[in-house]
A and B are shown apart, each in its own frame.
Chain A
Amino acid sequence: MTHRLIKGYRIMSSSPGLTVLNWLFGIFVHVPTFFYYRIKFRDFKKQTLTANPIFIQKLARDYDARARYFGQEINERKKQTFINKEYKKAVSDIHVPDVMTRYSLFFENQLSKRSFLFLTFIPGILLYLLFFIYHQGLVRFVVERLVATGFVIVSVIIIVFSLLYFSPQDPAQNILGEQATQLQRDNFNRTHGLDQSYIAQLTDRLHGFITFDLGSTFAGNEDVLQNIENRFPVTLAIAFSSLALAVMIAIPIGMISAIYVRSFWDYSFMFLALIGLSIPSFWQGLIFILTFAIELDWLPSTYTPGNIASLIMPVVVLGTGLSATIARMTRSEILEVMHEDYMMTAKAKGLSKQRMFTRHALPNAWIPILTVIGLQFGAMLGGASVTEKVFNIKGLGSYIVDKQFIPDIPAILAGVVYMAIMISVVNLVVDLLYALLNPRLRAELNDG
Chain B
Amino acid sequence: MSTEKIKGHDRYKHSQFAFTLSTLFSLFFLYLTASNGAMTYMILFIAFSIHSAIQGLLLKRLTVEGLRYDDYTMFTRALITIQMFSLLTGNIFTATCAFRLRQAEETMSYTFITYIFVADLLLVSLTALNIFKPFVTNTFLIVLIGQIILTIIDMWLIHYLRRDLSTRAHATRKAQGLAIFFILTAATGNVLRLLLSYHLYIHYIQSDASRRNRSGVFWQKITRSFTSMLGLLFIVVIFSLSWTSTLTFVERFAVENNYQALLLEPSLVHPFGTDNFGRDVYSRVVKGGVISLSIGLLTTIIPMLIGGTLGAISGYFHPLVDQTIMRVLDALYAIPGILLAIAIIAAFGSNTTNLIIALSIGAIPMFARTMRASVLTIKQLDYIKASVAIGESDWKILFKHIVPNALAPMIVRGTLAIGTAVIATSSLSFLGIGVEPHVPEWGNVLRVGSSYLETEPYLAIFPGLAIILLVLSFNFLGDGIRDALDPKMD
A contact set with B: CB distance below 8 Å: 17, 148, 151-153, 155-156, 158-160, 163-164, 166-169, 262, 264, 267-268, 274-275, 277-283, 286-287, 289-290, 294, 336, 378-379, 381-383, 385-386, 389, 397, 400-401, 403-405, 407, 412, 416, 419-420, 423-424
Contact = CB atoms under 8 A, between A and B. Distances in A.
B339 A400 contact: yes
Contact of A283 (B338, B339, B433, B468): B468
A320 to B, nearest CB: 12
Interface string B419-461: 1000100110011010000000000001000100110010011
B446 A168 contact: no
Given A274-B475, A280-B426, A294-B453, A420 B467 contact: no
B317 interface: no
B464 A275 contact: no
B339 A416 contact: yes
Contacts of A397: 339
Contacts, number: 146
A225 to B, nearest CB: 19
B464 A287 contact: yes
Interface of B: 8, 16-17, 20, 323, 327-328, 330-340, 342-349, 419, 423, 426-427, 430-431, 433, 446, 450, 453-454, 457, 460-461, 464, 467-468, 471-472, 475-476, 479, 488
Nearest to A375: B333
Q: Say whether chain B's binding surface is mostly helix, strand, loop, or mixed.
A: helix
22 contacts: A17-B323, A148-B330, A155-B327, A159-B335, A164-B343, A164-B346, A168-B349, A169-B347, A274-B476, A278-B468, A279-B468, A280-B464, A280-B471, A283-B464, A283-B468, A286-B460, A287-B461, A378-B336, A382-B337, A404-B433, A407-B346, A416-B335
A385 B339 contact: yes
Nearest to A380: B336
Given A278-B472, A280-B426, A382 B339 contact: yes
Given A277-B419, A278-B419, A404 B346 contact: yes
B426 A290 contact: no
A117 to B, nearest CB: 33
B79 to A, nearest CB: 22
Contacts of A386: 338, 427, 430-431
Given A274-B475, A283-B467, A294-B453, A152 B419 contact: no
A148 to B, nearest CB: 8
Interface centre among A166, A264, A279 (most CB of B within 10 A): A279
B336 A401 contact: no
Contacts of B20: 268
A385 B464 contact: no
Contacts of B8: 262
Contacts of B335: 156, 159-160, 416, 419-420
Given A400-B342, A401-B433, A166 B328 contact: no
B423 to A, nearest CB: 5
Given A169-B349, A404-B345, A423-B334, A280 B433 contact: no
Contacts of B348: 167-169
A151 B330 CA distance: 10
Contacts of B450: 282, 286
B74 to A, nearest CB: 30
Interface centre among A153, A281, A286 (most CB of B within 10 A): A286
A153 B331 CA distance: 7
Contacts of A420: 334-335
A326 to B, nearest CB: 16
Nearest to B35: A295
A278 B454 contact: no
Contact of A290 (B17, B334, B433, B457): B457
B343 A416 contact: yes
A199 B454 CA distance: 51
B27 to A, nearest CB: 14
Given A164-B347, A381-B336, A407-B346, A282 B430 contact: yes
Nearest to B429: A282
A382 B431 contact: no
Given A151-B331, A286-B460, A379-B337, 17 more contacts: A17-B323, A155-B331, A160-B343, A169-B348, A262-B8, A274-B472, A278-B471, A280-B426, A280-B464, A282-B446, A283-B468, A286-B464, A381-B336, A383-B338, A385-B342, A416-B335, A420-B334
Q: Lowest 3 CB-CB distances: which A-B pairs, in order?
A: A382-B336, A155-B331, A167-B347
A281 B427 contact: yes
B429 to A, nearest CB: 10
B476 A401 contact: no
A401 B334 contact: no
B393 to A, nearest CB: 25
Nearest to B464: A283
A389 B450 CA distance: 12
B275 to A, nearest CB: 15
A289 B419 contact: no
Contacts of B453: 286, 289-290, 294
A327 to B, nearest CB: 14
A112 to B, nearest CB: 32
B334 A385 contact: no
Given A152-B331, A156-B334, A290-B457, A163 B471 contact: no
A163 B343 contact: yes
A402 to B, nearest CB: 10
B475 A163 contact: no
A152 B326 CA distance: 11
B343 to A, nearest CB: 5
Nearest to B7: A262
Contacts of A280: 423, 426-427, 430, 464, 467-468, 471
Nearest to A285: B450
A426 to B, nearest CB: 11
Interface centre among A274, A290, A403, A412 (most CB of B within 10 A): A274
A401 B427 contact: no
B454 A294 contact: yes
B342 A404 contact: yes
Contacts of B342: 385, 400-401, 404, 412
A173 to B, nearest CB: 13
A189 B460 CA distance: 43
A126 to B, nearest CB: 23
Given A386-B431, A404-B342, A416-B339, A152 B330 contact: yes
Nearest to A277: B475
B327 A151 contact: yes
Contacts of A274: 472, 475-476, 479
B348 to A, nearest CB: 6
Nearest to B463: A283
Contacts of B433: 401, 404
Contact of A155 (B328, B346, B460): B328
A259 to B, nearest CB: 17
Nearest to A339: B488
Nearest to B455: A294
A316 B316 CA distance: 43
A297 to B, nearest CB: 12
A434 to B, nearest CB: 17
A215 to B, nearest CB: 16
A440 B340 CA distance: 36
